Structure formats: C-alpha cells, structure tokens
Structure 1
C-alpha cells in the first residue's frame, strides 16, 4: 500500500509533505562539536553550530550538521520582521561504511534535493536511504550522499523579490556557492564536476533540472524524479503561487504559523489584492524575476525562460549530461501488454518514448486548465521533455509508469538511477 500524503495535492498545491514511518538510526546519536568532527567547520558563508552522528548497522553513518548561512535569509525591501535573520538549517550526509577521510582515492558525492513541503531528512524518514544504496545490484555507488535543506517551498531559486516580512532566501547561492565548496573542504570528495551528481524529487526534481542547466561545470550526473518541468503551464503556475502564500520562505513547520514568511501582493491600502491572476504573477515574479510572454500551442502564456526546464532543454542545455541523465515520472494511464507474456504488462527499457497507452498529453484541457498538478500532468511534461532530448541527440534514461506522486515510487526510481548512472543500466525500468 502506498503511503498517503499528509497534505493533499489540492490542499497544498502539489507540495510533498508525505507521511511515512521514521527510519530509526542503528544506534543513538552522538553529539560532537564542529571543531572535533570537521577540519574546516566555518567558511564559504557557512557557520557550523553542531554535529550529530548516527552510526548505522552496516557500518555507514548519517551525520547531521546544523549550520547557519549568510544566504538564508537576507533583508529585502525593508526591515526584516524576524530576528535573528539567520536561521538554523541542517544538512544530512551519508558516509559509506569504512569512510576514510585520508583515503587516496577520493569519494564521489551525490546531492539529493528535497521535495516541496519537506526537508533534508525525507530520504531517511519516508524511505530507508541506507538500505536503498545497499540494494543496488553490484553496489556501483560507494560515495557520500549530501541531503541539504531546500525550504518547504524555496523552489531552488535566489528569490528576486521578498516575503511579506521583508526578507528572502538565496537557495541557489547557498547550495552552489556555499555548501558544495564547504562539503569539499570538510570531506574527502572528488572536488570537481567529474565526481559530483545531483538528483531530486518533485520540487527537488525541478531544482535538479534548473541547477544542472545553470551549472553544467558543477555536476556530471543528474536524476529527476517526478519533476516540475514547464513553468508556463497553468497547473504549474497554480502550484507555485499556492505554495508561496501557504508556505512562502518557511523552512520549518513552525514557520507556517508566521504570516511574515508568506508572499502576497497588497494594494495601496495595505489589503491583499483580490485578483488572483495578479497574485499569481506577483508570486512567481518574486521567485524568478520579471516575467515575459511566449506562445505555446497557439496560446500566449507567461514565461520565466531562465527558470524553465522546458525552455532550457530546447536550447541544448542538457547536452553536457548526455549518457548520464535519468528522467522518471508516473501517471501513465496504462502500460501496454507484454506480447511474450500473456496477462503481463511491458515496462519501458529506458530508451523508448512513452507508449500511447499512457495517454500523456500537454495540450488536453485537463492538463492545460487544471489548477493543481498531479502525476499524470507531470508525466505528460516529462514525456515531452524526453522527446526533446531524443530529438537533440542527448542520450538519457527515461522511465515512465503508472505510479503516483508518492513514496511508493521514488525509492525504486533512486535505485534504478544509481544503477544506471554509476553501474550498468537495468534492462527494464521500475514502474515509476
């Protein structure tokens, strides 16, 4: 049975706060000072506050580093309504069994970006990351995994605007300019593109595609699970807008109780603007900067080209990842029958487009006029993204399936991605 969502898609516009049993550490956490655990705890705009170590039964370790960053938050447009402005954030790091900080062969790193409404610990509370890594056939990935905080609805952007409380996060600056060099300074990693991968689910899948296009010199392997792809689509804009007024710049659940973290447009009298089209544009402009317009399928739509993977892919921005790009999405209406095995369905092999049985469409009224996103809509845009990559000759693995937007699908996606990106691609996709 799939784990149900704690916040439904309709209630919180596609955000990913999903229920799941907590995967308990193998032993009790061991707290250490930053200077005891790390050779360079402060630097690159980061100040380390605390380290908690969670040894695992297989000899691996989950290490939580609580820190502050000069990029989260910054004053914007006025006097910030929160004090202190710098907020504690946490990064969870998986260290493989036998991790040796002095090993001559440096370790690869994989950055896992969280989905909306969730946090750095999602892969170890809603899934068992340690067991998933161990389950990959041939154990091709023996590196570290970095699970950073990305905000409940930060959308992996350096916000162009501000919250109602006159502050804003710079998530891209934190992740790319601060956290990555900080990790390389404190762990025995391959400190260049060749050893660094990036993956994420839903909002984190969108972040993966956005960061990859903007920073091809930083990552060499990318995996996107149920990603947001086209910000021109009305369902996507509805999801983005709703997340901004419901969660805004919130990092922790308690932030949701503070209206100063939210994003709204106000009139000259200080009252919220009632026109929802104006609110939607204001909130997306807050995230991505001033909008433009473009024509899609004969319709004039609002666009943010530099933040839109569906536009970036047409510019060839994913060519640097050819042969090391994994794309996964569900929502397929039905899989075709397997001609060699009566009564069974045929899963994709990672190289073919989605079959007609999936009924994917980016132009159907259900997908162009919907006010919120579901996995069928995400799957439709992933199918179109796959077709564009194929047309441009960008080698990649594309897996479709009937799975939903939930933790019943994403663990299998990660295992498949690790096997494909670091070992030998499986002959068949999981039912994503």
Structure 2
C-alpha cells in the first residue's frame, strides 16, 4: 500500500523546516573559522570611556592594528587611539613588551593609514600607540580652557589617562626604560615637550621634522602655531603634517592667539610661557635619554619652506645638546636625495617620514628594554 500523500499544509511546513536547516548549514559553512583574537579586551578607566565610531569599526582594522575611539572630560569631543600590537602578541600570553608612543602632526588623526604603515607594524618587538592630539592641540594643557574649542587639556589626556590605560589594558613593560615617545611636526614638539616635563616616564625621544623651537629666536614657527590657533586663512598649511590635504576647516573654530601659552608677542617678557615651553630652552632636561632627530631642508626652502624653518629649529637643538655634552642621533637629509626612494625634495611630507621611521624604529627596538 503506498504511503499516504501529505496534506498541503504539512508539505509547506516540511519545506520551511528544510529551508531553515539548509540556510543554517550554509551559514555555518560560510562563517569564518573561529580563532583566538590577538585583540585584548580594553576596559574603560582612567577617565576614558570607549564609544563606537567609524574609525573604530573600519574594515582596515585587524587584530594587531586597530583604532579605538574614546571620550574624556579633559578634551572636547571624541578622540581616536591607534594600537599596533606585535605579531606574536596572542601567541605569547606570558610575554610583555616595550611601548612607543607616536604623536601625529597638525592637522591629522591616528586613523590616517600612514600611522599604520609597515615601518611601525614591522616593530614586532614593541607595542606602538598613536593617540589623538587634536588638529592643533599642541600636546599641552591650554592656558585658556574657555574658548570655543572647549576643554583642551592634552597633557592630562595623554600622561594621566592614555598611558595608564594602555599599561592596564595591554601587556606592557610599564617602566621608563621600556617606554619611548616620538612624533612628527607638531608631534615632534609634543614628544620633546613631554619628555622634558616627564623624564621619569621616557628613556627615548624622537623628532621627525619637529617644531623643536618656539622661543623668540624662531618666530616663524611660533607664528605658524598661532596661525593654527586663530585659523588664519592665509597660513593654514604652515604647520601641517603633510599626511593629509590642507582643509579650510581643519583649525576651526578659531580661538585667540593667547589661548595656548598666553600672548605670543615678545614685548616686556609677556611671552614668557612660550619661552618656558620651548624645547631648545629645556634641552638640559633630556640628559640621560636616547635622543633622535630627523629633518630635511626642503631643498633650501625652494621645494618646501616649512621644512627649511624646521631645519633651523633642529640645528639649534643639536647645537644646544652638543654644548651640554648630551649625545644625539642626528640625521639632516637636506633635499632628501640620499635619504631613500620615498623622500622627495627633503620636504615636510609622509615619504620622508617613512624613511625616518625605517631608521628610527630599529634603533628604538634595540634601545628599549627587551620583552619580559
């Protein structure tokens, strides 16, 4: 006797069940294989609260090179932090690593692909952290916290929040001997400024085309800094990092020229706070550190006048260090002709900084305490 013919409603139910099972099986087959993520859990703390962001969820993020976004009462708005882990981070759960804090230029952002370049990711022996410094934060606690730019306590953000957050979240060697700081342009100023203010935190410091002189002897760089504060329309690119296009809104809203360090004008010593923050004036505070300075001259200013100004600042810093008997690794590659294939014209641009990093990163990796 033939089996009974199922009723239409039963057939539809069976088809749905088979369809659901088939879809589930297909999803299982297509799902990526489970793997141990190298990205560690990062708990909020030290005044930092993580928030969802486009940069934080970008497809370019990987387990070992990713961006998180945080909010802090110390600085207005949301701030990106790029974290680059050594390739063997997940495979060696008992291993600890030195840390390089790498500070970006102005205007720029850690989510820029440049800060995930191979010269930094190749530093397998250390963790690299690129924290946000704002388009014109200048790695300082501003004198005036009540401008249209809102809270601007960048030193507090980096020193009191980001560094302890990283040490608590990642397997760092949390000592001066295992911590370096370096930066580009505005970030070069920031690296030397922080190293001079907090010599107990860093054993190595580096500048790539850094604004290393803000004293009255270097008014071109001081006025370029002022231009970023006031959003001066004719000078928006005067201190850019070169890794991003110049944007007419990069330094908006404009604030008073006194907002950062008080009046910048050298009349009756009214600019004393600028002189106090000048890295050249504080060169003696770098004694005992490993110091690395890289700069070009923009082909004597014909290719890039910005780098020509910065060369002057770097020359003055080296002369001061030499006079103090403090060793420094100094690379002045002029027009860039002998500094590798990526550095064109010795300008204030990413190709030259990539070459700088190819030289700097192995030096830092060798100088910092080995992984525990």
Shorter-chain TM-score above 0.5: yes
Q: Is the 8 A contact 2:67 2:81 kept in 1?
A: yes
Q: Residues 309-324 of structure 1 correspond to what in structure 2 (within 5 A)? A: 309-313=279-283, 316-321=284-289, 324=290
**CA distance in structure 2 between the partners assigned to 1:180 and 1:165 by the alignment:** 27
TM-score scaled by structure 2?
Answer: 0.72
The answer to whether the 8 A contact 1:113-1:148 is kept is yes
1:192 corresponding residue in structure 2:
175
Give how far 1:191 is off: 1.2
Matching residue within 283, 293, 308 for 1:376? 308
**Structure 1 partner of 2:81:** 91
Match of 2:226 in 1: 241
Residue in structure 2 matching 1:305, options 272, 275, 285: 275
| Count of residue correspondences | 302
Judging changes above 3 Å, is the alpha-carbon distance between structure 1 residues 164 and 301 closer, same or farther for their aligned structure 2 residues? closer
Alignment partners' CA distance in 1, 2:317 and 2:107: 25
Q: Report the counterpart of residue 397 of structure 1 in structure 2.
A: 329
1:121 and 2:111 are equivalent in the alignment? yes
Q: Which has the larger radius of gyration?
A: 2
Judging changes above 3 Å, is the alpha-carbon distance between structure 1 residues 196 and 225 closer, same or farther for their aligned structure 2 residues?
same
Report the Cα offset of residue 240 of structure 1.
Answer: 1.0
The structural deviation recorded for 1:263 is 0.3
Contiguous gaps of at least 5 residues in structure 1: 1-29, 31-35, 74-86, 265-282, 334-358, 361-365, 367-371, 425-432
Distance in 2 (CA, whole Å) between partners of 1:325 and 1:229 is: 13
- Within 5 Å, which residues of 2 pair with 1:72-111? 72-73=75-76, 87-100=77-90, 103-111=93-101
Structure 1 residue 158 and structure 2 residue 147: aligned? no
Residue among 291, 296, 300 paired with 1:330: 296
Q: Gapped runs of 5+ residues in structure 2?
A: 1-31, 33-37, 237-243, 336-345, 368-372
Match of 1:280 in 2: none
Counterpart Cα distance in 1 of 2:307 and 2:252? 31
CA displacement, residues 256-302 of structure 1 (integer Å, 9 cap, x when unaligned) = 759973203xxxxxxxxxxxxxxxxxx1x31024668599xxxx894
Q: What CA deviation, in whole Å up to 9, does each residue of 1:59-107 have, x standing for no partner?
A: 962121111112113xxxxxxxxxxxxx221101011112139733311
What is the correspondence of 1:132-151 to structure 2 with a 5 Å cutoff? 133-134=121-122, 142-151=125-134
8 Å contact kept, 2:100–2:181: yes
Equivalent residue, structure 2, for 1:62: 65
Q: In structure 2, what is the Cα distance between the partners aligned to 1:72 and 1:185?
A: 21
Q: SS where residue 169 of structure 1 aligns?
A: coil
| Contact 2:107/2:136 (8 A) holds in 1 | yes
1:215 aligns with 2:198: yes
Residue-by-residue CA offset, 1:330-351 (whole Å, 9 max, x unaligned):
0075xxxxxxxxxxxxxxxxxx
CA deviation after TM superposition for structure 1 residue 375, in Å: 0.7
Query: In the alignment, which residue of structure 2 is the partner of 1:42?
Result: 44
1:112-138 deviation digits (Å, cap 9, x = unpaired): 10100111133xx2365235543xxxx
Query: In structure 1, how many angstroms separate the alpha carbons of the residues matched to 2:317 and 2:157?
Result: 28
Tell me which residue corresponds to 1:262.
254
C-alpha RMSD of the superposition = 3.5
C-alpha separation between the residues in 2 aligned to 1:290 and 1:241? 10
Say if 2:297 and 2:347, in contact at 8 Å, map to a contact too.
Answer: yes
SS of match in other structure, 1:184:
helix
Q: What secondary structure is seen at the aligned counterpart in 1 of 2:280?
A: helix
1:196·1:219 contact (CA, 8 Å) conserved in 2?
Answer: yes
Distance in 2, Cα, partners of 1:199 & 1:91: 15
- Is the 8 Å Cα contact of residues 115 and 202 (structure 1) preserved in structure 2? yes
Q: What is the aligned partner in structure 2 of residue 419 from structure 1?
A: 362
